[in-house]
Structure 1
Amino acid sequence: MAVASDHVFSHADRAHHAQAKDSFTIRQFGDMDATAVRNQANAVSAGCSADDHCRSVALSFQIVTVAGEHTRLDAANFSDAANRKCTGCQTLAGAYQFVVSTPTVFTLDGTARGKLADIHRRLDGLTRSTLPAADLKSKVDALAVEVTGVLHDAAAQAPKGDTRPDVTLHRHLDGWPGH
């Protein structure tokens, strides 16, 4: 059994008004009978005021490839954003889990990995940006669409089997827009 867990946590408060973290991991498992993967993003803004607000952003992209005709997959994907006594704060947590399942083993080639690395760089830039939470959500969702496209193209090149390759996106966003 293969097990993988990715977790991003950011915490903004009076001492650190802006905290932003992201994760972009690729987990390539071969032929597996069972796989358990977990992806989580948590963001907290605490103790700031409308005049002195905080911003906390946590974004996690997890890409998992599994192979096999009868693989059991336990995939968990969570996000939680909390404002604690934080008037006017912006808090955003986003967990994006991409699961690529193919009947036979395949690995992402250099072209796909290069495209994913470019998306990761752009995610880093968005995470550190000062975009309002609503705009940030839409831009991060657009990156998720790009990742899905790259993975669909890569899976189409996978060796064929009795079942078709599949790409599934699990997305969970939670946030407080503030001002």
Structure 2
Amino acid sequence: MDLNQHRTTADRPGPARRVLRAGLLAAAGLGVLGTTTVAQAVHGVAVDTDAAHTLANPGHRQAFADSFSVHQEGLVYAASARNQATAVSGGCSADDPCRSIALSFQIVTMAGTDIHLNALNLGRAVNHHCDACETLAGAYQFIVSTPRPFTLGAAAQRRLADIHRRLDALRGSTAPVSEIQHQADALAAEVTALLEAAAATAPKGPGISALAAMEPKVTVHRMFDRS
């Protein structure tokens, strides 16, 4: 398939969005290893970037990469979060096709009542002269915004680690890419539920505006591309 010919299986939001919101924003696709960080953003500005990339070709016909990163930023007034999954297959024959899968989960927590957020989440799959190849890119971005700072507790961290292990386990799966996509969606649903429950326990305290006092809101954006 030509570079410019690929099939998309999810809505494509605009390249970036700037929002002002208190609550929980969960958005949906690049890195291979997951990380957890707990830190105050420098000068109140947080910048987080994660990605997962794969390339399958005649020399390496099976390619899989996943990223599962957690960034706990504390109190911020501005934040930028970028998450991307890119999967490419190229040059394999119809008799011996390639398979390329990239999945990226990015979790960012932040606190503040007037946070200016620029969040970018991308998933792209490309088959290049690889008509019988299976190529899948899935991007999930979860951004938790609360009025007062909080950190994910030990129980939540253990549950996230378990979800990460199950995401890693998809590496050995021989299921069709449609089933891999279904399993990734199920894991993302678990993350969303966990973060929604955690955000609901964040302290509000006195002097919080009506907007900030709203119950956490969960908006899930998921970006998948499949060729």
TM-score of the pair, normalised by structure 1: 0.95
Paired position in structure 1 for 2:9: none
Q: Which runs of 5+ in 2 are unaligned?
A: 1-44
Structure whose residues are more often helix by fraction: 1
Give the one of 163, 167, 173 matched to 1:129: 173
State the secondary structure of the residue aligned to 1:153. Answer: helix
Paired position in structure 2 for 1:171: 222
Paired position in structure 1 for 2:81: 37
Give the one of 76, 99, 108 matched to 2:120: 76
Structure whose residues are more often strand by fraction: 1
Bigger shift: residues 8-17 or 162-171:
162-171
Structure 2: distance between partners of 1:96 and 1:115: 17
Matched to 1:155, the amino acid is A
Q: CA RMSD in A?
A: 1.1
CA deviations over 1:52-87 (Å, ceiling 9, x no partner): 100000000000111100010100000100000002
Paired position in structure 1 for 2:94: 50
Structure 2: distance between partners of 1:75 and 1:18: 31
TM-score of the pair, normalised by structure 2: 0.75
Structure 1: distance between partners of 2:174 and 2:107: 26
Paired position in structure 2 for 1:67: 111
Shift of 1:123: 0.5
Paired position in structure 2 for 1:156: 200
Shift of 1:88: 1.0
How many pairs does the alignment contain?
Answer: 176
Q: Which runs of 5+ in 1 are unaligned?
A: none
Q: % of aligned pairs identical?
A: 53
Structure 2: distance between partners of 1:136 and 1:145: 14
Give the one of 15, 27, 32 matched to 2:71: 27
Structure 2: distance between partners of 1:130 and 1:82: 20
Bigger shift: residues 156-165 or 36-45:
156-165
State the secondary structure of the residue aligned to 1:168. Answer: coil
